[in-house]
Amino acid sequence: MDNPFIFRTYKTKEQFCDRQKELEKLLSNALSGADTTLIAQRRIGKTGLIFRLFDEIKTEKLPIIPIYVDIFATRSLDDFVKTLSEAIMAALPEKSSIGKKFSKFIKSLRPIITYDPLTSVPQIQLTLQNDVERQQTMKGLLTFLDIQNEKVLLAIDEFQQIREYPETNVEAMLRTIIQNLNNVTFLYCGSKRHVMLDIFSGERNPFYRSTEFLTLQKLDPIVYSDFIEAHFENAGIHIEHEATDYILDWTRRHTYFTQRLCHTVFAMARKKVDVDLVKKAAVEILQADSAVFGQYQQLLTAGQWNLLIAIAKEGSVSQIASSQFLHKYRLGNPSSVIRTMSSLIEKNIVDEDLADGKSIYSLNDVFLSRWLEEKY
Ligand SMILES: Nc1ncnc2c1ncn2[C@@H]1O[C@H](COP(=O)(O)OP(=O)(O)OP(=O)(O)O)[C@@H](O)[C@H]1O
Ligand SMILES: [Mg+2]
C-alpha cells in the first residue's frame, strides 16, 4: 500500500485533510470572478490548497480553466513573462482549439522553444528587448486569456516575488492590465505576510483593496487527528490516541511537519503505533535533517543563532523585549534583539503571527526548532 501521508506535491483529495470552508470560498470567488489573496505561514498548505481547488474544478467539470504559475524562482519581469507563458502552455491542452490558438500567439512573439530532455515540457525563451516590449507581452498574454470566452482562474504562487524585480512600477503596470480583464480571475498567494499585506492593503499601492483576503490557519486538531487515525486504520494499523496526540503536539500541527512525521511513522509501523514508535520516528527525522540544521549556524550571526535557540527553547515567544526573556538567554539589549528578530523574519526563518494584536514569534521550521531545543 502507498504511504497515504504526502509531504511533497498534492495527489488526491483522499490524502488531503479538510480545508472545506476555504475550498468553498475559493470556488465561489472563482465562479463569481472575485480576486483573492491567500496568505499563510510557510508550509501550512497554500500550494496544496490551490491544487485541491484545481482538482475540484476538474472533477466537477466546472466551466473554469485553471492555470497555476509559481514565480518563486523569477528574478525579473522577463522571467515572469517567460514563466507565465510556459504555465499557460502547460495548462491548455495542446490539441484543443484554445491550445492551438495559444501556440500561434506565442509563435508570433518569435520565441526560441526548446523541450526539456527529461520531461519534454516546453521551455520558452522570448527575446524581449526592453521594458515596453516586456509590458506589451505581459498584456498580450493576459488579454489572450481574457478573450477566449471562457472563465480563467490564474493562480500566482509566491506573488510577493514581484517586489524583488529590478524593474520599477511592476505593480502599477500589472494592475492596469488586470483591471481591464473580464474573464480572468486571480488568486494571489504568498507567505511573506508583511509584503503581501503591503501589496494588497497598502493605501498607496496599485493593488490596494482589489482582492478579498483569505488566511490559512493550522488544521483543526480534531479533524486532523481523525484524518490521521482513519488513514492508519485503513491500512490495518491501529494507532493509539496518545500517539496521534503526540504527533500533533510535537509537530505543532504545522501541516508539512505533521505530514512528514506521519509518513515516517507509517513507513515504520507494522500492526500498531504507540508513543514509543512515534518518538523513534521523530529521532530518525531529526538525524536525517541535522546536516542541514548545522549549516544554519554558518549562515547566521552569533546573535541571530542565539536568538533562534532562545525561541526554540520557548517554543514561541511574544514578549521579546521583556527583561525576563533577555536575561534568561543573555540576549543583550532590547533594541538589538528587536533588530535581530526582524532580520530572522526577513530571512523567513522566524514567523511572526498576530494574536489579539500581539506578535508571537516561532521558528518556521518545526524540526529545526525541536532539534535546537534538544541540542542546546
Ligand atoms: N490539508 C492538507 N492535508 C494533507 N496534506 C497537506 C494539506 N495541506 C498541505 N499538505 C501537504 O503539506 C505539505 C506542505 O504544504 P504546501 O506545500 O501546500 O505548503 P505551502 O503553504 O504552499 O508552503 P510554502 O510556503 O513553503 O510554499 C505538502 O506536501 C502538502 O501536500
Ligand atoms: Mg507553496
Q: What is the DSSP letter of 109?
A: T
> Whose grid coordinates read 497515504?
4
Q: Is the CB of 30 under 6 A from ligand 1?
A: no
Domains located in the chain, CATH noted:
19-215 (3.40.50.300), 220-294 (1.10.8), 300-376 (1.10.10.10)
Contact 247, 211 (CB under 8 A): no
Q: Atom 15 in ligand 1: which residue has the minimum CA distance?
A: 45
CB-based burial of residue 82 (10 Å sphere; 0-12 exposed, 13-18 middle, 19+ buried)? buried
CA distances from 190 to 157, 193, 256 (A): 6, 7, 16
Q: Which carries the bigger pLDDT value, residue 118 or residue 208?
A: 208
Atom of ligand 1 nearest to the CA of 48: 18
Count Cα atoms within 13 angstroms, Cβ side, for 153: 31
Q: Is the CB of 216 under 6 A from ligand 1?
A: no
Helices (H), the chain: 20-32, 46-59, 77-91, 97-108, 131-146, 170-179, 193-201, 221-234, 241-250, 255-268, 275-299, 302-314, 323-328, 334-346, 366-375
Q: Is the CB of 217 under 6 A from ligand 1?
A: no
Q: What is the pLDDT of residues 259-313, one digit of tens each?
A: 999 999 999 999 999 999 999 999 999 999 999 998 989 999 999 999 999 999 9
Residue 114 has pLDDT above 80, yes or no: no
Contact 106, 89 (CB under 8 A): yes
Q: Atom 29 in ligand 1: which residue has the minimum CA distance?
A: 7
Cβ count within 10 A of residue 372? 21
Residue 126 has pLDDT above 80, yes or no: no
Tell me, what's the pLDDT at 121? 78
What's the gap in Å between 39 CA and the centre of ligand 2?
Answer: 10
Tell me, what's the pLDDT at 238? 98
Q: What is the pLDDT of residues 247-270, one digit of tens each?
A: 999 999 999 999 999 999 999 999
Q: Which of 41, 43, 254 for mutating ligand 1's site (highest number of atoms within 8 Å of CB)?
A: 43
**Helix, strand and coil in the chain, % to nearest 5:** 55, 15, 30
The type of residue at 56 is E
Q: Atom 8 in ligand 1: which residue has the minimum CA distance?
A: 45
CA atoms of 323 and 158, how far apart (whole Å) = 37
Q: What is the pLDDT of residues 64-110, one digit of tens each?
A: 999 999 999 999 998 999 999 999 999 998 888 999 999 988 888 77
For CA atoms 177, 179, 181, 183, give the dihedral sign.
positive
Tell me whether strands 151-157 and 122-125 are parallel, antiparallel or unpaired. Answer: unpaired
B/e letters for 274-304, b = 16+ CB within 10 Å, e = fewer, are eeebbeebbeebbeebeeebeebeeebeebb
Helices (H), 269-365: 275-299, 302-314, 323-328, 334-346
Atom of ligand 1 nearest to the CA of 51: 18
Helix, strand, or coil (residue 87): helix
Q: Is the CB of 253 under 6 A from ligand 1?
A: no
CA nearest neighbour of 283 among 309, 265, 271, 308: 265
User: Across the chain, what does the average pLDDT equal?
Assistant: 94
CA of residue 112 relative to chain centroid, distance: 31
As given in the structure block, the three cell numbers for residue 310 are 532562545
What's the gap in Å between 188 CA and the centre of ligand 1?
Answer: 16
Q: Is the CB of 10 under 6 A from ligand 1?
A: yes
Q: Which of 3, 259, 261 for mutating ligand 1's site (highest number of atoms within 8 Å of CB)?
A: 259
- Confidence grade of residue 210 (pLDDT, cut at 50, 70, 90): very high
Tell me, what's the pLDDT at 91? 95
Count Cα atoms within 13 angstroms, Cβ side, for 108: 11
Tell me, what's the pLDDT at 67? 98
What's the gap in Å between 169 CA and the centre of ligand 2?
Answer: 25
Helix, strand, or coil (residue 215): strand
The type of residue at 140 is G
- Confidence grade of residue 128 (pLDDT, cut at 50, 70, 90): low
